[in-house]
Amino acid sequence: MNFVTQYFRDLYQGAIRGWDRFWFTATDPATYCLIRLLAGAMLLYTHAVWTIGLIDFFGPHSWVSREALDALASDGSGIWQMAFSYLWWISESPALLWITHGLALVVFAMLTVGWHSRVVSVLAFIIAASYCNRSPASIFGLDQINCLLAMYLMVGPSGACYSVDRWLEKRRWRKEHGLEPMPPVEASVGANVGIRLIQLHMCVIYLFAGLGKLAGTTWWNGTAIWGSVANLEYQSIDATWLAAYPLLVNVLTHVTVVWEVSYPALVWPRLTRPLVVALAVPLHLGIAVFLGMITFGTVMLFANLAFVSPWIVRAVIDRRSLHVPEVAAEQVEPQRGGKRRKGKSAGTPVAS
């Protein structure tokens, strides 16, 4: 009986320690800030495109009326009552709509460049969710990931680096301290929590995307990819030549499902993570290039960056744009050769 008690005690203590380490370890916010920059740009582009049909989609006689939304809640549960959108308040006034839309674009531009990041990250989420909730019949996966990223960018210091905020901070420091070295960017628990939330949310998305496919016939009989590429409305590059290669269609179909279902498990171990994350690239680029959803494919890749280590981000971005001195470059090299630290595999290009 004692060993049973001991097992549960160990389990409890291990879970507590693991939870604490997983969430509350401060991390370099480089990856988090890179995601801010990319997600901000995608949000800006997404909403800039709304400009073309602003009145059609959000104006007084928009495609989706209030009545249409209420019909979705015909059981009286008031589904749309809780899905907040400030756009309902101003939809009757095109002038107000244009002004607020312009301000929204400014907010997304500020998020992209990282200016007043803390404030604009909150505003960006409210704005992005409001657009989606106002016109839910015209949204798709892109908007879900946009809002996901905007939501988690509220959690930590998304402007800690690669931002105007950081640049202003340096300018102030130079003014006050002259040539005295400025402290490096502070490691942040908030950035870690933000990254962890993106990682876990991506696991949930892939898991249910995979499980949802397993409920279908074509994902089992291996023809689903044909159903996607032979859909003219999605198609941006003709891939109907795949009809001549049914086994290739089978392979692509099965790999897609296996990858999605296994993602939540295999993306965590260091050995498998690079492979799992690398496979995201052809899969999402395929969606982007062949199925005409460049934005959706791209934003999924942005979200997958949450699994890339900050040191990789530093090595790539800082060296390229800031001319990292030789000493730093030398320290980067051994990782590529697989130099190992005690008890851990080194050089795995992904975050823990």
C-alpha 127/C-alpha 123 separation (Å) is 6
In the complex, the smallest distance separating the C-beta of residue 259 from other proteins, rounded to whole angstroms, is: 13
Considering only residues 251-280, where is the footprint of other proteins by CB under 8 A?
none
| Residue number with CB closer to other proteins (249 or 277) | 249
C-alpha 281/C-alpha 284 separation (Å) is 5
Considering only residues 85-114, where is the footprint of other proteins by CB under 8 A?
none
Q: Which tokens hold the place of 81?
A: 């009552």
| Residue number with CB closer to other proteins (285 or 332) | 332
Q: State yes or no: residue 178 binds other proteins (CB under 8 A).
A: no
C-alpha 352/C-alpha 271 separation (Å) is 11
Q: CB atoms < 10 A from the CB of 72, how many?
A: 13
Nearest to 285 by CA among 273, 275, 298: 298
Q: What is the 3-state secondary structure (H, E, C) of 277-300?
A: HHHHHHHHHHHHHHCCCHHHHHHH
Q: State yes or no: residue 186 binds other proteins (CB under 8 A).
A: yes
Considering only residues 34-73, where is the footprint of other proteins by CB under 8 A?
45-46, 49-50, 52-53, 56-57, 60-65, 67-68, 70-73
| Residue number with CB closer to other proteins (7 or 262) | 262
| Residue number with CB closer to other proteins (6 or 240) | 240
C-alpha 346/C-alpha 44 separation (Å) is 37
Choose which of 116, 138, 266, 268 interacts with other proteins (CB under 8 A): 138
Nearest to 29 by CA among 181, 167, 162: 162
Considering only residues 195-254, where is the footprint of other proteins by CB under 8 A?
197, 200-201, 204-205, 208-209, 212-219, 223-224, 226-228, 230-236, 240, 242-244, 246, 249
Stretch that binds other proteins, among 15-23, 89-97, 106-114, 274-282 (CB under 8 A): 15-23
Q: State yes or no: residue 153 binds other proteins (CB under 8 A).
A: no
| Window 291-320: contact mask with other proteins (x via CB under 8 A) | -xxxxx------------xxx-xxx--xx-
C-alpha 190/C-alpha 250 separation (Å) is 43
| Residue number with CB closer to other proteins (141 or 274) | 141
| Residue number with CB closer to other proteins (111 or 132) | 132
Q: State yes or no: residue 24 binds other proteins (CB under 8 A).
A: yes
Q: State yes or no: residue 129 binds other proteins (CB under 8 A).
A: yes
Residue 306 near residue 202, CB atoms below 8 Å: yes
Q: Which amino acid is at 20?
A: D
What is the CA angle 39-268-306, rounded to 5?
Answer: 10
